[in-house]
């Protein structure tokens, strides 16, 4: 280490000495140049001054001469200019700093006595270097005057700003070179470190005596190591490339999955740029991937509703939670209802990574909602009609408007009938609700069909008797048994048998048959009543559906009976078929599987 420091110190000293020498040489060169310039200027100036016309100055006007001279005095470093007459007496004098006073006698004498050009260098007693040029002026071949011109010699000193510029520049550039050199070396070494031979390999290099064989062997080992490193780098490159391909493939797979969704997906990154839109969404937006990807959603999403939803979503990230938004795409998917919802996907640190927006077709849900709403409206209407009657008839009675005893009886009967109608309607609605809940409320048991038949006939007998309607039983030798909910089945059959009685004219005939066919019990109810129109048949099992046939409208009914029956039969895995002809009658056939009978 000490040796290195010494070398560095030595180098530093050498560099400094070099700088000083260069600077000094430069300085000397400048002095010589200035010296030469002064000599040349002096010679040319004295040449001009000693022209014959100068003699005229001694007698004529000389202001111009002195003005010109004084203007040049600084530039040419003129110390003084004296013009002597023929008798060596100074006649004209120009000396801004009075330096002429300091010229030694010997110099003056020499200048005045010589018949030609004289150039003398000297130092004034005050130490100022001067150079005197002297030349006689001839007029008409006679010496008319002598011109003496004193110029200042260059007084350059080494330590001036001007002279220090050069060494400073040299030092600056050396320092710059050192800094660059240092970092370049560090970087080079770092790079080399990555392919530095491992310890084991170093040991493989023979510590030979430095002969050519050893050197070649060492080089071979080193070369093998370099090759190994190169192949490792190549394999790393291949691994990275394959990882990139896998990642691209995975991305593509993700996009394929998104494209398979039956709802719209839009991905927007944290910079509000569209990252992906699946084909479903593109279809309903009527835009292409190229229109959207890597653009700000605000600039490219044309659908105002969706754009507004995203804006709210982004605003809500800072304030309140966002709500789902309903929208339609009338241009691309008219008549359909959509709902947009969103979720934010964050990275491991919890920072927002991507926003996922789903646009789902909710037309079916809307339809179900509407059906539900219609159902509620129907119930309200159906319940309010008997309620209106009860209220209205009651109000009239209470107001004392009905005094006639017969009318009073009629009113009481109507109130009673309407109360019963209301009660029946409420039980029908409850029954329907229970049946629609399906298996949950069904208690299956072994049901004897003879009991079912008698129960049903008993329920409608009174009304049938009023209308003089006969119900004929058609029964097998052995009544079959079925597994089911006896009350439900009874209710289902009463609805059909009741309708047969209700919609048959007086003195009509109804047949109620029970058969056993292929592990199924078949109930058949035939009437010779009003029958049904072809346009009514497809709707008779719908809730609240009522025919507009006058014979049907005449009769009270909720429009729920057959809907309840169909639901009960469905719960028992059975079937119901209807054949009907207007003014001829109807035939209802119900088939219920017997099921695995448990004989208790």
Partner 1 sequence: MDKKKTILIIDDDVHIRRILEIKIKHSGYDTLTAKNGKQGLEIIQDQKPDAVISDLNMPRLDGEALCKLTDPIKKDRPFLTIIITARINPQEQKWIDEMIDTMFMEKPFSPSKIVEALAKYFENTNS
One of 384, 448, 473, 539 touching partner 1 (CB under 8 A): 384
Q: Total number of residues binding partner 1 (CB under 8 A)?
A: 28
Residue 386 parent element (H or E): helix 363-398
Cα within 13 Å of Cα(407), Cβ side: 9
Check binding of 380 to partner 1 (CB under 8 A). yes
For partner 1, the closer CB: 520 or 552: 552
Check binding of 381 to partner 1 (CB under 8 A). yes
Part of the chain binding partner 1 (CB under 8 A), chosen from 291-299, 327-335, 391-399, 535-543: 391-399
For partner 1, the closer CB: 516 or 536: 536
d(CA 438, CA 432): 10
Check binding of 377 to partner 1 (CB under 8 A). yes
Give Cα separations from 585 to 48, 526, 545, 563, 598 (angstroms): 153, 7, 19, 20, 38
Enumerate the H helices of 101-211 as residue ranges: 105-113, 161-194, 199-204
Check binding of 420 to partner 1 (CB under 8 A). no
For partner 1, the closer CB: 547 or 571: 547
Min CB(389)–partner 1 separation in Å: 4
For partner 1, the closer CB: 63 or 550: 550
The answer to whether the beta carbons of residues 132 and 149 sit under 8 Å apart is yes
Site string for partner 1, 514-553 (x = CB under 8 A): --------------------------------xxx-x--x
- List CB contacts of 289: < 8 A, sequence separation 6 or more: 277, 282
- Six-digit token pair at 516? 């056993």
Check binding of 72 to partner 1 (CB under 8 A). no
- Six-digit token pair at 475? 């029964």
For partner 1, the closer CB: 391 or 448: 391
One of 275, 393, 523, 530 touching partner 1 (CB under 8 A): 393
Check binding of 422 to partner 1 (CB under 8 A). no
Q: Are strands 333-346 and 325-329 parallel, antiparallel or unpaired?
A: antiparallel
Check binding of 401 to partner 1 (CB under 8 A). yes
State the Rg of the chain over Cα: 63
Which of helix, strand or coil describes residue 501?
helix
Min CB(295)–partner 1 separation in Å: 41
Check binding of 392 to partner 1 (CB under 8 A). yes
Check binding of 414 to partner 1 (CB under 8 A). yes
Min CB(278)–partner 1 separation in Å: 36
Q: 139 to 158, contacts with partner 1 by CB under 8 A?
A: none
Min CB(394)–partner 1 separation in Å: 10
Check binding of 419 to partner 1 (CB under 8 A). no
Give Cα separations from 376 to 284, 434, 436, 557, 558 (angstroms): 33, 16, 15, 17, 13
d(CA 175, CA 182): 10
For partner 1, the closer CB: 140 or 399: 399
One of 26, 185, 388, 427 touching partner 1 (CB under 8 A): 388
d(CA 267, CA 261): 14
Cα within 13 Å of Cα(299), Cβ side: 9
Q: Would you give the distance in Å from CA 214 to the centre of its chain?
A: 63
The DSSP 8-state label assigned to residue 320 in this structure reads: S
Min CB(506)–partner 1 separation in Å: 18
The answer to whether the beta carbons of residues 131 and 153 sit under 8 Å apart is yes
Residue 2 parent element (H or E): helix 2-49
d(CA 395, CA 371): 35
For partner 1, the closer CB: 218 or 414: 414
The answer to whether the beta carbons of residues 523 and 590 sit under 8 Å apart is yes
Q: Closest by alpha carbon to 100, among 50, 44, 62, 148?
A: 148
Min CB(419)–partner 1 separation in Å: 12
For partner 1, the closer CB: 314 or 387: 387
Min CB(388)–partner 1 separation in Å: 4
Residue 266 parent element (H or E): strand 264-269
Check binding of 582 to partner 1 (CB under 8 A). no
Check binding of 416 to partner 1 (CB under 8 A). no
Site string for partner 1, 337-376 (x = CB under 8 A): ----------------------------------------
Check binding of 583 to partner 1 (CB under 8 A). no
Which of helix, strand or coil describes residue 132?
strand
Part of the chain binding partner 1 (CB under 8 A), chosen from 313-321, 384-392, 451-459, 565-573: 384-392
Part of the chain binding partner 1 (CB under 8 A), chosen from 29-37, 181-189, 265-273, 398-406: 398-406
Q: Closest by alpha carbon to 27, among 166, 126, 215?
A: 166
Min CB(405)–partner 1 separation in Å: 15
For partner 1, the closer CB: 80 or 503: 503
Sequential DSSP letters for 13-57: HHHHHHHHHHHHHHHHHHHHHHHHHHHHHHHHHHHHHTSTTHHHH
Part of the chain binding partner 1 (CB under 8 A), chosen from 37-45, 413-421, 438-446, 562-570: 413-421
Part of the chain binding partner 1 (CB under 8 A), chosen from 188-196, 284-292, 324-332, 397-405: 397-405
Min CB(412)–partner 1 separation in Å: 13
Min CB(409)–partner 1 separation in Å: 14
Q: Closest by alpha carbon to 313, among 346, 343, 289?
A: 343
338 CB neighbour count, 10 Å cutoff:
23
Part of the chain binding partner 1 (CB under 8 A), chosen from 31-39, 149-157, 174-182, 380-388: 380-388
d(CA 483, CA 574): 12
Give Cα separations from 112 to 89, 115, 305, 381, 452 (angstroms): 10, 8, 112, 147, 168
For the chain, first and last CA: distance in Å? 111
For partner 1, the closer CB: 417 or 516: 417
One of 195, 396, 442, 446 touching partner 1 (CB under 8 A): 396
For partner 1, the closer CB: 176 or 380: 380
Q: 18 to 37, contacts with partner 1 by CB under 8 A?
A: none
The residues that touch partner 1, with contacts defined as CB under 8 A, are: 377, 380-381, 383-385, 387-393, 395-396, 399, 401-402, 407, 414, 417-418, 546-548, 550, 553-554
């Amino acid at each position: 280490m000490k040796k290195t420091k010494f070398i560095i110190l030595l180098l530093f000293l050498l560099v400094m000495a070099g700088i000083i020498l260069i600077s000094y040489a430069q300085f000397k060169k400048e002095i010589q140049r200035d010296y030469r310039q002064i000599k040349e200027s002096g010679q040319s100036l004295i040449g001009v001054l000693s022209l014959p016309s100068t003699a005229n100055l001694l007698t004529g006007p000389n202001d111009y001469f002195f003005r010109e001279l004084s203007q040049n005095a600084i530039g040419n470093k003129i110390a003084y200019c004296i013009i002597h007459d023929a008798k060596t007496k100074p006649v004209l004098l120009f000396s801004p700093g009075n330096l002429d006073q300091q010229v030694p006698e010997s110099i003056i004498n020499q200048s005045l006595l010589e018949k030609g050009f004289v150039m003398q260098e000297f130092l004034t007693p005050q130490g100022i270097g001067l150079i005197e040029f002297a030349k006689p002026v001839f007029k008409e071949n006679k010496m008319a005057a002598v011109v003496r011109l004193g110029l200042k010699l260059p007084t350059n000193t080494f330590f001036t700003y001007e002279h220090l510029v050069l060494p400073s520049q040299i030092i600056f550039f050396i320092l710059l070179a050192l800094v660059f050199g240092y970092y370049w070396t560090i970087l080079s070494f770092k790079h080399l470190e990555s392919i530095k031979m491992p310890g084991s390999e170093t040991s493989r290099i023979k510590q030979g005596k430095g002969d050519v064989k050893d050197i070649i062997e060492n080089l071979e080992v080193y070369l093998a190591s370099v090759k190994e490193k190169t192949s490792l780098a190549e394999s790393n490159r291949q691994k990275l490339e394959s990882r990139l391909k896998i990642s691209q493939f995975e991305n593509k797979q993700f996009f394929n999955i998104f494209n398979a969704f039956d709802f719209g997906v839009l991905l927007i990154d944290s910079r509000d740029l569209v990252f992906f839109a699946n084909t479903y969404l593109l279809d309903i937006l009527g835009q292409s991937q190229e229109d959207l990807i890597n653009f700000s959603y605000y600039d490219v999403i044309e659908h105002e509703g969706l754009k507004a939803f995203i804006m709210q979503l982004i605003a809500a990230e800072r304030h309140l939670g966002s709500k789902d938004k309903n929208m339609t795409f009338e241009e691309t998917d008219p008549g359909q209802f959509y709902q947009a919802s969103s979720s934010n996907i964050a990275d491991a640190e919890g920072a927002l990574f991507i926003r996922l927006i789903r646009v789902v077709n909710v037309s079916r849900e809307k339809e179900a909602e509407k059906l539900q709403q219609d159902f509620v409206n129907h119930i309200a209407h159906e319940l309010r009609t008997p309620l209106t009657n009860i209220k209205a008839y009651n109000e009239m009675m209470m107001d004392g408007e009905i005094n006639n005893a017969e009318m009073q009886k009629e009113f009481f009967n109507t109130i009673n009938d309407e109360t019963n109608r209301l009660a029946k309607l409420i039980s029908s609605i409850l029954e329907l609700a229970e049946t629609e809940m399906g298996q949950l409320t069904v208690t299956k048991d072994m049901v004897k069909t003879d009991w079912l038949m008698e129960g049903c006939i008993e329920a409608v007998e009174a009304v049938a008797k009023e209308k003089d309607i006969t119900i004929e039983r058609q029964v097998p030798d052995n009544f079959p048994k079925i597994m089911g909910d006896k009350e439900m089945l009874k209710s289902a059959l009463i609805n059909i048998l009741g309708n047969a009685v209700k919609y048959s004219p007086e003195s009509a005939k109804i047949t109620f048959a029970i058969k056993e066919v292929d592990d199924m019990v078949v109930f058949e109810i035939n009437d010779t009543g009003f029958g049904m129109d072809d346009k009514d048949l497809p709707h008779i099992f719908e809730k609240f559906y009522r025919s507009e046939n006058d014979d049907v409208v005449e009769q009270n009914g909720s429009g729920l009976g057959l809907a309840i029956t169909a639901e009960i039969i469905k719960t028992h895995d059975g079937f119901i078929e209807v054949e009907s002809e207007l003014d001829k009658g109807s035939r209802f056939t119900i088939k219920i599987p017997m099921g695995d009978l448990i004989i208790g």
